[in-house]
Amino acid sequence: MPPAFRYREYRNYWFGMLSAVGGFQIAMFGQFWLIHELTDSTVYLGYVGLANALPAIALNLVGGVVADRFDKQRLIVVTQVVASLLVALLAIITLTDVVEPWHVLTIAVFAGAINAFNQPARQSIYPHLIERKAMMSAVALNSSIWQGTRIIAPAIGGVLIAIIDTGAAFVLASATMFVFAVVVAFLKVPDAARAGASSRKTSAFGDIVEGLKFIKANSIFAFLIGMTFFNSFFGLSYIILMPVFADDILKVGADGQGVLMSVSGVGALIVTLWLGTRASSANTGMILIGGAVLTGITVAAWALTAEYIGSYPLALTLIFFLGLFSSVYMISIMSTLQMLVPNEMRGRVMGFYGMTWNIMPLGGMFAGVLAASIGASWAVAIGGLAVSAFAIGPALLNGRVRNLGALLTSRESAIATS
């Protein structure tokens, strides 16, 4: 049994998250499909991505402050209920055939804003449901939810849309998202997670500044979050430009694109399930750096071989390893953050960390502009090499990063003997 699954409350949380993320993936699939049906415009697809991302970027730090100040359990329940109601509203106006593009964009804006408060609370609560020695296992198991559902959930959404209607996909998504709110409401959460810092005299803005100063003053946190920024902005641009590779470069169409994304998800899922059985943090530094370097190199190799060799089987092989390598280092980053961050700072650090993922659409826009000048393959390859370079630099210059495993081990030993 994975170490984190030995804790009953975490198991309940995990299955609730499985339901919520599955619903979220179906909702996102249906949202993009619906806007495509309504507009037949690739520009509007980009608008939907930005509508989700921009409010989250703007509010993630505020969401982290709220997670630190107030009851995390209650915050998750409230935001999850609101998120499920937004999807239910989209289902109603779709089923009644009154939906218009501005409805989809407006709901996407509110959903992004709600996620800015939901995400830091979710990331802050589950470390309280386990012992610290099971942290890597818990992080990997959480990641496995996202990797697994991105393979299965879109297929479920597609079947519902084909057999019934797009509105039916939204109905299922809303129901499964609501299940998570019910599960969290009945969790037995330690007082440390329930009690916030609402009695503190500092302002919310002061809390944000304190959190940013904490990250800046700790080179490990600055490096880990900076790497995530780089990965989201530069390393994930291939996802945004995937239709170009599938249709124009590899000539495999939409079906081939789906297979490419699924194979990437399979590679990621395999490594997350493996890491889910581990409790040791030894060699974390070198695993993290090595995973990042290999991810960047594989992104570049995938893009350039697609352009100059044009082999679909080779593209499938490389994107499988891309999913594998990227999961290795991203899980290492998250588990390290969770083990090192103090409880009173957890919400703000996780809020800032979560903001990094929401900049992916902005990175995609940058890559799209660059691709117009030098081609999609070189735009993606340059992004991948930037990720590798960012990882190699701190590895050469910062001994604390290289010896991250020893730092984690000594921290755990100190806590165990205190």
The reported pLDDT for the residue numbered 354 is 75
Give the pLDDT confidence score for residue 93 in this predicted structure: 92
Question: What are the boundaries of each domain within the chain?
Answer: 1-188, 201-418
Query: What is the model's pLDDT at position 414?
Result: 53
Residue 15: pLDDT above 70?
yes
> Does 63 score more than 90 pLDDT?
no
Burial of 163 per CB tally in 10 Å (0-12, 13-18, 19+)? exposed
Closest CA to 274 of 79, 411, 144, 91: 144
- 3-state DSSP helix/strand/coil % of the chain, to nearest 5: 85, 0, 15
Q: What is the pLDDT of residues 255-281, one digit of tens each?
A: 676 678 778 878 877 877 776 665 555
Two tokens, residue 200: 């503190």
| Least confidently predicted of 67-81, 158-172, 231-245, 380-394 | 231-245
The runs of H, that is alpha helices, within 70-195 are 72-95, 101-125, 135-163, 166-185, 191-194
pLDDT of residue 199: 47
Tell me the per-residue pLDDT of 276-315, one tens digit each, with 9 for 90 and over: 665 555 566 677 788 888 999 999 999 999 999 989 999 9
118-148 pLDDT, tens digit per residue, is 988 888 888 888 887 777 778 778 877 877 7
Residue 181 has pLDDT above 90, yes or no: yes
Look at residue 192 in the predicted model and tell me its pLDDT: 61
Read off the pLDDT of each residue in 359-379 and give the average, rounded to a whole number.
80
Domain 201-418 maps to which CATH number in 3.30.710.10, 1.20.1250.20, 3.40.605.10, 3.40.718.10? Answer: 1.20.1250.20
CATH 1.20.1250.20 fits 1-188, yes or no: yes
